[in-house]
A and B are shown apart, each in its own frame.
Chain A
Amino acid sequence: MSKELEGIVVNNSTDSELAWFARKGNLYALTILALISIGSAMALGVDTRWIYLLVYLWFGFAYGVLLQYGRFCMASAVRDLFAVGVPRMAVGVLIAVALFSLSAAVVKVIGVSTYFPSPIGWHGLIGGAVFGFGMVFAGGCASGSLYKCGEGNIGSMLVILSISFSQVFYVTQGGWLNKLVPAAWTASALSKHMPASLSVTDGWFDQFMAGYIWDLKSTTMAKILGFDGVTSGAFIGDALFCAILPSLLILILLYVLYYRKGYLRRRKVGKPTVTEHLHGIWSMLTASRNTAIAGLGLGIFAGLHMWVIGELRNHYGIFNFGELLAKMGHTAGLSIQNTVFDPGYWYITTQEAQWGGWVLHKLGMHDMNNIFYGLENGLPNPLFNAPGWMSIGIILGAASMALMRREFKWKIPSLETAVFAVGGGALMGLGARIGLGCNIGAFFAAVTNGDPSGWVFLAGMVVGAYLAVKVFSRWLDWRASRENFGI
């Protein structure tokens, strides 16, 4: 057996004698890469405009590689903080936020930013809290669950399925759910004079959108602080004040509450100076090398992704992939505005809602006369769903990384894990729709683009996760006492 630098002993001596490309895990990973490459080449051979969709796929692959490499999960960021006092992921997320805010600012200055700020309101707090609660039980956030699918985690696949199908229910269901809608929302929705085919006064989500969300204001930190120039707005207003400074403050708080004591004890420091504390903060930032590298990488790739999509939109003269699909002769499933879901950057949950929606639509269980599918996101064939391929890319990228590190293992969930996965996933789906996004769309993409609504969602996530950890801990204690192992 050979001892590698990190102290992981690989118990597979015959395998380690082979060249790197002949080892089983690496072979599988190379096969995945080869298949995606061949598929991409074939698609481009049919029509070069598929490049727009392939960009999503390949950036998804990059995200997947980085997420698995850094074991990057925003659920862990809040959950492990409260449950076991570990700030590793919270630190990693803040590194990614700082980096993406800079790369996003560059993209803004170039003039091809694809980001639009989200409305600010109570829905952000409530949606965030529901999402945060759900993700603790689901075992991962939206991006985390996707990458864990790539590790062979069938429980995480259940989470994705649950997120997918539960959202269809939330965005299409009327009937008895209509009774829960405040009258003011119904009236406001009516006043928007939407096409009758969308039936906006039937459906909880339609009235939530047309009667509440559309009346809210959205803004950017640059606007709030009065930075009117493109460059000063992007770098100072948005990146510095909305992302970097808040992240620094939270990092200091994390250091004080969760890292300082252990660090000073290990360094045997009695009365620490400011310099000692600064070293401590640096130690906290670099404590998990993989996480920090993943954070840096994700921040850079997320910005690159926005830039490439922005340039492609300019190149093809479109605002939305739906227009390109129409030009390519694929009109089935487009919204009435000829749009599909095409965020232009890293996003999760809406494309999963489209997967579930497409399946149930084909089974005749719902139609497109609602805002979510009919007006905004469409129900394209999953083969033509660009951000859908991004999610698949995440799974494949994570699988490749896991295979190379010999960490891929099919994990069949216990009944408890399966129930938590489905229940947690359903809550995540609900929280994502109320909050208009998940940990990526409603938090990560927002705060890094100067959108303060992202911090509102995070606040909700923190509250929800905190409560969930308390409940989870009680559950574990109960199980431990039942099984009598005296822990």
Chain B
Amino acid sequence: MAVKFNKVADGDYSLDVTGYVCPHPQMYTKKVLDKIEQGEVLTLLFDNPSSGESIMAMCESEGDDVFERNNTGGVFQWKIRKG
């Protein structure tokens, strides 16, 4: 299973790191967030719970807003707006 990164629309990106364990999800998320512009939205899909803690802390520290969080059967879908 490969990491899937797509531009969904203008200012709207998606990153799917399901199946990956620490530290892949947080490191890929950091790389993506470093590349997108302020105000753009990233929809992140992952299923490794502990990565979520790191990503949450990372976003808080960098001023990125995790404005929506869903959990469907262990798969987390988060929406992050770059600060």
Contacts and interface: CB of A to CB of B under 8 A. Distances in A.
Interface in A73-129: 73, 75-76, 79-80, 83-89
Contacts of A153: 21, 48
9 contacts: A11-B71, A76-B50, A79-B23, A80-B23, A86-B26, A88-B57, A151-B49, A411-B21, A414-B1
Given A79-B22, A414-B1, A265 B63 contact: yes
B3 A75 contact: no
Interface string B1-33: 111110000000000000111111011101110
A476 B27 contact: yes
A152 to B, nearest CB: 8
B22 A139 contact: yes
Contacts of B19: 411-414, 417
B21 to A, nearest CB: 4
Interface string A465-487: 00001001100100110010111
Interface of B: 1-5, 19-24, 26-28, 30-32, 35, 47-50, 52-54, 56-58, 60-63, 68-75
B23 A136 contact: yes
A90 to B, nearest CB: 11
B23 A139 contact: yes
A486 B35 CA distance: 9
A155 interface: yes
B21 A413 contact: yes
Given A288-B53, A487-B31, A487-B35, A7 B69 contact: yes
- Counting chain A CB atoms within 10 Å of each CB, which of B26, B47, B53, B68 scores highest? B53
A83 to B, nearest CB: 5
Nearest to A135: B22
Contacts of A406: 71, 73-74
A410 to B, nearest CB: 9
A75 B22 contact: yes
A411 B47 contact: yes
A417 B3 contact: no
Interface residues of A, number: 58
B47 A86 contact: no
B11 to A, nearest CB: 16
Shortest 3 CB-CB distances between A and B: which pairs? A409-B74, A262-B61, A71-B50
Interface in A127-144: 136, 139-140, 144
Given A9-B69, A262-B60, A409-B74, A83 B23 contact: yes
B24 to A, nearest CB: 7
A417 B26 CA distance: 15
- Counting chain A CB atoms within 10 Å of each CB, which of B2, B22, B31, B74 scores highest? B22
Contacts of B21: 139-140, 148, 153, 155-156, 411, 413, 417
Given A88-B53, A406-B71, A407-B74, A414 B28 contact: no
Contacts of A473: 27
Contact of B5 (A88, A136, A155, A485): A485
A23 to B, nearest CB: 13
Contact of B2 (A84, A287, A483, A487): A483
B70 A262 contact: no
A191 B1 CA distance: 56
Contacts of A87: 57
Contacts of B74: 152, 406-409
Contacts of A486: 5, 35
A140 B22 CA distance: 7
A67 B14 CA distance: 30
A110 B68 CA distance: 51
B78 to A, nearest CB: 10
B3 A483 contact: yes
A346 interface: no
B38 to A, nearest CB: 14
Contacts of B72: 11-12
A73 B73 contact: no
A25 to B, nearest CB: 10
A291 to B, nearest CB: 7
B5 A472 contact: no
